[in-house]
Chain A
């Protein structure tokens, strides 16, 4: 049972436009959500996170929105740059369990066209 789902395997956007990556989860115990970016042959790198007590967190060009009632989060990248082309993973955890165990989605490959 996939508790964290990224239903779009790939996304293509033009440089300068907005990229929106979506993620859905099923476990209502999740209270902390993260986005990681991964280039080929490298490990994932942390991008941005959000706690369930917030509905928005912003860091430069990256903004994450959380809709708890819909169990949905999204990552907005504005403006998109060619260097943003990578696989983006959404991850969730139940922090009340004092754990670093993350449940990851299957990833979305973002291609930013120059």
Chain B
């Protein structure tokens, strides 16, 4: 069974641009979550989706948005990029809510 797949693996953008990151969960998993990892901050929760509905949102500005499609695939979008958005963005999926998360390898975003 394939794991959580995130594309692209690496991304370089400049300030003010926007970016879309993609996540394909493990087959059959209906819950997708997104996390941001920066040095010294650990993993910070961004959003959580279940059956195309956003169930939870972390403390991030409105520039960060996401969605989940009917096939459970998810995308997150960051608009008007800032230098501080440089981070590893991790997607995780689970079969249902209240179950352990399986993480993808992440998308490393660098904002110049």
Chain A residues within 8 Å of B, Cβ to Cβ? 32, 34, 36, 41-46, 49, 89, 91, 95, 98-107
Contact = CB atoms under 8 A, between A and B. Distances in A.
Contact of B48 (A49, A99, A106): A99
13 contacts: A44-B103, A89-B42, A98-B55, A99-B48, A99-B97, A100-B92, A100-B98, A101-B33, A102-B43, A103-B45, A104-B44, A106-B41, A107-B42
A41 B105 contact: yes
Interface residue tally on B, bucketed by range: 20 to 34
B24 interface: no
A94 B4 CA distance: 24
Nearest to B45: A101
Nearest to A107: B42
Interface of B: 4, 31, 33, 35, 40-45, 48, 55-56, 58, 90, 92, 94, 97-106
Given A99-B98, A104-B35, 13 more contacts: A43-B104, A43-B105, A43-B106, A44-B43, A46-B102, A89-B43, A99-B97, A100-B48, A100-B94, A100-B99, A103-B45, A104-B44, A106-B42
Contacts of A42: 105
Contacts, number: 61
B103 A101 contact: no
B42 A102 contact: no
B98 A43 contact: no
Contacts of A103: 45
Given A89-B43, A103-B45, A104-B43, A46 B104 contact: no
Contacts of A106: 40-42
B56 A95 contact: no
Nearest to A43: B103
B4 A95 contact: no
A42 B103 CA distance: 9
B101 A100 contact: yes
